[in-house]
Amino acid sequence: MRYISTRGEAPALGFEDVLLTGLATDGGLYVPESLPHFSLEEIRSWRGLPYAELAYKVMYPFVEDAIPADDFRKMLDETYSVFSHQAVAPLVQLDTNEWVMELFRGPTLAFKDFALQLLGRLLDYVLEKRNQHVVIMGATSGDTGSAAIEGCRRCEHVDIFILHPHQRVSEVQRRQMTTVQGDNIHNIAVKGNFDDCQRMVKESFGNQSFLGGKTQLAAVNSINWARIMAQIVYYFQASLALGGPDRSMAFSVPTGNFGDIFAGYLAKKMGLPISQLVIATNRNDILHRFMSGNKYEQHQLEHTLSPSMDIMVSSNFERLLFDLHGRDGAAVKALLENAAKGPVSIEDYRWKHARKLFDSDAVDDKTTCETIRDVYEQNEYLLDPHTAIGVRAARNCRRDSAVPMITLGTAHPAKFPDAIAESGLSVKPQLPAHMADLFEREERYTVLDNNVSEVQGFIAKHWKNA
């Protein structure tokens, strides 16, 4: 399988190169030249498979040119054996035909573990094969950083530099990153917001001269195709657990960077019956404003109780725009260049085509807290603020009560005690046993100004072979 850029000017690459490259040389994002498609009969035959085996069925077409089947199976078995629940992604019922899929049973208590635990193993495999070293540079709004560090910290051929917005992630999220010890792990707190961090990463991938030609950058953010690929699997898992593919499903997805919900879009294109995808956002609602009114316009970023969604530039949205424009890279490039200058819209028929599948909602902090409180009082089930936004958006946007609605539970509530307290509940979410001493561990991180040259200088000085 070959991979092409959403901007149409970069060379097509195989899986190994896409894994290591991140952004395409033309500034675009890589997507498969074509998608595998599974018949209903084939999907039906996967009922009852362990999660790792289902992951193999869904993902192997994307990597088969690069990784032998037995090696990939071994990676998947190792990846999902560290999750704390035998089902890996268990479903919890909230009401009639209403479910939460718990995607926080991995080692860092967030859905990012599904992809990043695998990504670390993929990188180790490919870099060992090539005898190559890379520098991972990533930006996090809270959860990607800890999952990336946990997934890649044992990689012998990798140095990791994770940027997070200083004082704009929860304390648990920060400590999960900054208490991991290792000479190859570097946490940078940038005096800015997530979009500033993400911009620095994109600029650095576009011009890697600060590394002196001695190594290259690799991406762990959801711009990396391997992240999206791994997230497709749990849509199939949820559907199969609830009677799919013989009936359609609806999903509500808390999202800021559009990667997690784009994986659901791909699952549908690959043959899984999905009737509705709900984009659930907070006050940083650029995706909701586009999907509800066909206007893509950046506003001032706001700090909320759901910090992992405090994002205004949704990188993965470009992948959807590429499809909506008939895979015309030049059109996507022109649209995004105009979007950097002011508000843009797409042709009405393209927008209406997207609306056949997608709905959206924006949920403020007050309503988020109300939802946390209401669901706990009704079910004694505690939601984190991101999942609460997903549940509220699902209830507000649901098209058909006969279709199962599944909200993706993206993080453990213990990561966001301030939001739980603000909801008025006296219950205090507890960290699981393997993190019980998190607040006693020594932290290591460096605070830097919101300046790309300063950040690049730090990386150039501190990577292993500098």
pLDDT for 192-207, tens place per residue?
998 899 999 989 998 9
Rounded Cα gap, residues 432 and 172, in angstroms: 12
Residue-number span of the structural domain to which 295 is assigned:
87-110+227-422
Question: Among 294, 284, 293, which residue's Cα sits nearest to residue 368?
Answer: 284
152, part of any domain:
no
CATH number of the domain bearing residue 408: 3.40.50.1100
pLDDT tens profile 249-275: 999 999 999 999 999 999 999 999 999
Kindly give the residue spans of alpha helices, DSSP state H, lying in 233-347. Answer: 233-241, 259-269, 286-293, 317-324, 329-339
Query: Pairing between strand 98-102 and 405-409?
Result: parallel
> Cβ(393)–Cβ(96) under 8 Å?
no
pLDDT tier at 220, thresholds 50, 70, 90: confident
Q: Which residues pair with 185 in a beta bridge?
A: 160
Mean pLDDT computed over 357-385: 98
pLDDT tier at 222, thresholds 50, 70, 90: confident
Neighbours of 151 (CB within 10 A): 29
pLDDT tier at 154, thresholds 50, 70, 90: confident
pLDDT tens profile 18-39: 999 878 999 999 999 999 999 9
16, part of any domain:
no
Question: Among 178, 217, 184, 183, which residue's Cα sits nearest to residue 201?
Answer: 217
Mean pLDDT computed over 434-448: 94
> Cβ(31)–Cβ(79) under 8 Å?
no
Q: How many domains does the chain have?
A: 1
Rounded Cα gap, residues 290 and 69, in angstroms: 41
Phi (first) and psi of residue 335, to 5 degrees = -60, -45
161, part of any domain:
no
Q: What is the CA radius of gyration of the chain?
A: 21
**More confident: 366 or 21:** 366
186, part of any domain:
no
45, part of any domain:
no
354, part of any domain:
yes
Strand ranges, E, within 1-141: 3-5, 30-32, 91-95, 98-102, 134-139
Strand ranges, E, within 33-133: 91-95, 98-102
End-to-end CA separation in angstroms for the chain: 35
Q: Supply the pLDDT for residue 466.
A: 54
Tokens of 51: 């999660």
Rounded Cα gap, residues 349 and 358, in angstroms: 14
Q: Supply the pLDDT for residue 144.
A: 85
* 78 has pLDDT over 70: yes
- What are the CA-CA distances from residue 401 to residues 68, 97, 152, 309, 441 (Å)? 43, 7, 42, 27, 47
Sign, CA torsion 370/375/381/387:
negative
Query: Pairing between strand 185-190 and 216-218?
Result: unpaired
Rounded Cα gap, residues 369 and 366, in angstroms: 5
Cβ-count burial of 87 within 10 angstroms (0-12 exposed, 13-18 middle, 19+ buried)?
middle
Q: Mean pLDDT, the chain, as a whole number?
A: 95
Rounded Cα gap, residues 76 and 81, in angstroms: 8
Tokens of 49: 């498979």
Rounded Cα gap, residues 435 and 383, in angstroms: 19
Mean pLDDT computed over 222-229: 92
pTM value is: 0.93
The amino acid occupying position 343 is: P
As annotated, the active-site residues are 112
DSSP string covering 365-382: HHHHHHHHHHHHHHHS-P
pLDDT tier at 49, thresholds 50, 70, 90: very high
331, part of any domain:
yes
Rounded Cα gap, residues 116 and 56, in angstroms: 16
305, part of any domain:
yes
The amino acid occupying position 29 is: L
